[in-house]
Structures are given as structure tokens and as C-alpha cells.
């Protein structure tokens, strides 16, 4: 029996991205899948309905979600959307599960098999499914572009007959995917770039991009990385030493970009008001972690705030600011994951519950919250999973 895929139009948070592209639709059709794209789903990502139709999709409406075996989304479905899905449907999206256990339980109650793409394990097999990396890469790029647009001076050094314009000094805090792309972008614009991170492996990566590494490199620093490659929370003593070093360095910078996030936790505070006060008037700071509480004191989600004379950019959904690019990458991430659920022999959906990718990303299945990190809510009619 042919499986039906529904690519939904996002309705919450003014989300401009879409969970499909003409290329992924072609691949789905090649796998024998029936693809329905909700009308207007790709408009804000510069993909008109006609492009989806040329790729082989049917253009439908919200009501078509009711017949879908698989629903592909960018954001977790709302309560209204959930009501329109059939029990047993597979829903794949960026679910933002931490702190939203009630919403996850509601999907369980509706009988949905839901998958959180941001929980994809960082293993070789899943690299092409890593939405955190694909979207963070663009966020790091856009952070520099946003900073440059607010900075009222030139970024590169310019030598003219009238004098020399010095290069802007850019400091990137957090050298993960977003941070490394921010470093690379700032370097391309001609800035003098430095960066910091608590993971020892980041030092070599930062240096390879031509930036100077700034960190207190003691014994705790040398052990500050999880097996999965994420930063570990650091002790208060280390944080104090690092903060002192960073404060001295920040005072000399023109632009600061913060990217530090720890999965499941509030964003660590990296930059205080006192640090901002020490910067030159007209300096710029960009907080890519503002949606998780922010790395910068005084950052305001969705706004450019004036904090101690520094313009602190706190834009929300930064990948969505380059939606045309972000959607193409995200759609490819989803397609690669979906392909693991399709039987090569029968071309039918074949969910493998013992697959390591499924175990890592599945939140709900068979009316239960099944992911070990998220307990079921009593009012959702789901039993507690260990």
C-alpha cells in the first residue's frame, strides 16, 4: 500500500521554513510515495506551489493531513494540528521537547509516532540527518551578517589616500557548528577574529580558520567535553577564571557573537552588563542563544536592545532569516531520515523500533511517551516510561 506524505505549512511563530523541497519530493516519488504539499507551504522559502507540482507533489489543504501516514514539519505540531492527524501517523519535526512535556504527552494521547530531529545522535551514519548542524551553520553565518548590518563602521581594514580604516575585532563565544561558521564568515569579511570554547578540540578548529583561541587551559578545560562532542557544564571556579579572561578580552572587541547552548538546559550566561559596559560605544553583540534565556545579560528575544551602550541583537529563529537556504538543508535532513523508514523491497513504511536512530529520536509511540528523557503526563492517558 502506497504511503502518503504530507508536507505541512507552518502556522506558528511566523516560521518561514518548510519541511520539503522539490528535490526531496522527487526522491519521495522515486520511492513510490504519494506526496501532498499544503498550499503555500514553501512561499516564504521562495518555493512556489508550482515547483512542488513539477516535482510530482499534489497541492492540498490542511484537511489532507488527516489521510497522511507521515507528516513532515519544521516545528512541533500545535494542539489544533494534532487533532487533524490520524492515529498511528508518523510526525517528524524539530520538536523542542525540553520543558514541553505536556505537549509531547498530547501527541502520545493522539496515538502519534513522533520524532524529534534535534535528538539525532551525532554518529557517522546520521551526519546527513543532523538538523542542529545544518541549521546552526546558517545561524552562525547570519549572526555575522546581522552584526555587520548594525555596525556603523567598515569590517575589513581599508587603506586609502585619506587614511586607514582599521579592521573590526570580532570575538566568537562557542566554537560549535554555529561558532565555526561565524568565525569563517567574519574572516571572509576581513575582521580580526578570536574565539573561545570550553571544549579542548575547538582550539585546533579555531586556529585552522585563522582565528586566535582564548581560554583558561587548565586540567578541567582538558576534560570539558562529552563523548558525544558536547560541552560539559563547568565548575564555578573555572567559570570565574574564564570570565575574568573573557572580560579583559571583550573590552577590546567591536563585535561579540555568543553561540553557547547545552541540550536540555538554560543557556549559560557568558557576557554580563559590566563586560558590555567596558566595550567601546557603538559596539555590537549578537546572542544566538536568546531563545533559551540568552548568553548575554540584557538580551531581549526578537529585539535589538541597547545595553550599556552596546547594541545587543537578540533575533529569534535566526536560521529562518535565511529561510530559502535553511529549508533546502532541513528538507534534505528529513528526507534522509525518512528513507531509513522505507522498506527497500516493498517500498512501504517499515518502522524499525530497534534502529539506533529511531531509539534516539522517537518521543511517542502507541499512546505512550517512550523517550527516556521525557515522562508522560497524567492527564494525557499515557503510562510512565522508565
CA atoms within 13 A on the CB side of 267: 21
Which pTM was predicted? 0.90
Task: Provide the pairing of β-strand 310-313 with 284-287.
Answer: parallel
CATH number of 4-129+323-369: 3.40.50.720
Domains 4-129+323-369 and 136-321 in one fold: yes
Pick the catalytic residue from 218, 230, 306, 355. 230
Pick the catalytic residue from 34, 46, 49, 122. 122
252-268 pLDDT per residue, tens: 999 999 999 877 788 98
Q: What pLDDT does residue 310 have?
A: 97
Among 246, 241, 204, smallest CA distance to 225 is for 204
Q: Is residue 13 a contact partner of residue 317, using CB atoms and an 8 Å limit? A: yes
Q: Is 122 a catalytic residue?
A: yes
Low-confidence ranges of the chain (pLDDT < 50): 376-386
Strand-by-strand arrangement of the 284-287 sheet: 212-213, 192-196, 169-173, 255-258, 284-287, 310-313, 304-307
Pick the catalytic residue from 127, 208, 303, 343. 127
Q: Is 133 a catalytic residue?
A: yes
Q: Is residue 139 a contact partner of residue 178, using CB atoms and an 8 Å limit? A: yes
User: Number of H helices and number of E strands within the chain?
Assistant: 12, 17
Pick the catalytic residue from 114, 133, 134, 135. 133
Q: Is 130 a catalytic residue?
A: yes
Which overall architecture, per CATH, does domain 136-321 show? Answer: 3-Layer(aba) Sandwich (3.40)
Q: What pLDDT does residue 239 have?
A: 82
Q: What pLDDT does residue 346 have?
A: 82
Domain boundaries, the chain: 4-129+323-369, 136-321
Q: Is 87 a catalytic residue?
A: no
Q: Is 379 a catalytic residue?
A: no
Among 142, 180, 136, smallest CA distance to 313 is for 142
CA angle 307, 276, 264 (to 5 degrees): 85
Q: What pLDDT does residue 308 have?
A: 96
62-121 pLDDT per residue, tens: 999 999 999 999 999 999 999 999 999 999 999 999 989 999 999 999 999 999 999 999
Pick the catalytic residue from 21, 45, 75, 130. 130
Amino acid at each position: 500500500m502506497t504511503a502518503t506524505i504530507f508536507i505541512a505549512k507552518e502556522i506558528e511563530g511566523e516560521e518561514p521554513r518548510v519541511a520539503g523541497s522539490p528535490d526531496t519530493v522527487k526522491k519521495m516519488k522515486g520511492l513510490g510515495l504519494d506526496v501532498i504539499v499544503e498550499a503555500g507551504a514553501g512561499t516564504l522559502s521562495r518555493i512556489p506551489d508550482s515547483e512542488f507540482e513539477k516535482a510530482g507533489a499534489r497541492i492540498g489543504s490542511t484537511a489532507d493531513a488527516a489521510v497522511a501516514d507521515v507528516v513532515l514539519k519544521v516545528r512541533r505540531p500545535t494542539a489544533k494540528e494534532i487533532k487533524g492527524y490520524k492515529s498511528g501517523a508518523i510526525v517528524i519535526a524539530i520538536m523542542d521537547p525540553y520543558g514541553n512535556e505536556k505537549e509531547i504527552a498530547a501527541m502520545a494521547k493522539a496515538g502519534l509516532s513522533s520524532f524529534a530531529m534535534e535528538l539525532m545522535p551525532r554518529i557517522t551514519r546520521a551526519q546527513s540527518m543532523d538538523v542542529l548542524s545544518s541549521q546552526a551553520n546558517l545561524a552562525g553565518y547570519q549572526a555575522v551578517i546581522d552584526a555587520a548590518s548594525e555596525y556603523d563602521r567598515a569590517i575589513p581594514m581599508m587603506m586609502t589616500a585619506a587614511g586607514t580604516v582599521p579592521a573590526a575585532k570580532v570575538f566568537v563565544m562557542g566554537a560549535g557548528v554555529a561558532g565555526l561558521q561565524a568565525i569563517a564568515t567574519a574572516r571572509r569579511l576581513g575582521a580580526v577574529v578570536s574565539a573561545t570554547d570550553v571544549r579542548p578540540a575547538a582550539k585546533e578548529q579555531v586556529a585552522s580558520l585563522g582565528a586566535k583561541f582564548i581560554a583558561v587551559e587548565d586540567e578541567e578545560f582538558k576534560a570539558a567535553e562529552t563523548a558525544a562532542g558536547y560541552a560539559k557544564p563547568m565548575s564555578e571556579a573555572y567559570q570565574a577564571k574564564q570570565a575574568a579572561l573573557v572580560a579583559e578580552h571583550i573590552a577590546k572587541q567591536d563585535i561579540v557573537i555568543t553561540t553557547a547552548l547545552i541540550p536540555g538546559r538554560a543557556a549559560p550566561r557568558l557576557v554580563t552588563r559590566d563586560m558590555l559596559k567596558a566595550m567601546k560605544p557603538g559596539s555590537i553583540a549578537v546572542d544566538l542563544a536568546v531563545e533559551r534565556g540568552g548568553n548575554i545579560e540584557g538580551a531581549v528575544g526578537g529585539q535589538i536592545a541597547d545595553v550599556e551602550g552596546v547594541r545587543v541583537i537578540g533575533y529569534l529563529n535566526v536560521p529562518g532569516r535565511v529561510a530559502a537556504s535553511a529549508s533546502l538543508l532541513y528538507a534534505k535532513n528529513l528526507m534522509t531520515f525518512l528513507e531509513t523508514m522505507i522498506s527497500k523491497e516493498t517500498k512501504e513504511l517499515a518502522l524499525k523500533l530497534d534502529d539506533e536512530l529511531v531509539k534516539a529520536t522517537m518521543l511517542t509511540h502507541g499512546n505512550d511517551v517512550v523517550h527516556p528523557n521525557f515522562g508522560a503526563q497524567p492527564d494525557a492517558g499515557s503510562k510512565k516510561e522508565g
